[in-house]
Amino acid sequence: MMNMNVANPSDALLDDLSEEMIIDQPGNELAEVPAVAPRRDLPAMMRKIPVTLTLEVGSARISLQDLMNIGPDSVVELDVLAGEPLVIKVNGTAIGRAEVVVAGENYGLKVIDLDGLNLDNMMTP
């Protein structure tokens, strides 16, 4: 329980600490209290964060007039050559290249290369 009625913040901290301290009295055994909180493994924690993996087929820059003329059976040429590796993105950031494959009844991607995807080096304790 935190003491909120103390004028000096350092006094409030001391009051809070004294409420949590174990006092050695006859009949009471001292419990061992860890001196330092356990260190968190940030790279391991980051590995559990969900991300969105996408495969970018390509893009096209067209005018609004051309966009208005698009309809069923329209074909829009993209800026990627057929058979060229596609860009793998994680949350919108390019991380490598891949090609499209069929995985069961779904499309999948076959990784060709990755560019420095290493969570262990992102955050060092």
pLDDT tens digits along 38-88: 667 887 888 889 999 999 999 999 999 999 999 999 999 999 999 999 999
| Residue 3 lies inside a defined structural domain of this protein | no
The answer to the question of residue 105 being in a domain is yes
CATH number at residue 81: 2.30.330.10
When comparing pLDDT for 27 and 114, which is higher?
Answer: 114
| Per-residue pLDDT, 112 | 95
Is 43 within a domain?
A: yes
How much of the chain exceeds pLDDT 70, in percent? 62
| CA–CA distances in Å: residue 39 to residues 3, 31, 119 | 28, 21, 17
| Domain carrying residue 25 | 9-121
Asked if residue 89 lies in contact with residue 56, where contact means CB atoms within 8 angstroms, the answer is: yes
In a domain, 1, yes or no: no
What's the number of domains the chain is made of?
1
- Would the pTM of this model clear 0.85, i.e. be above it? no
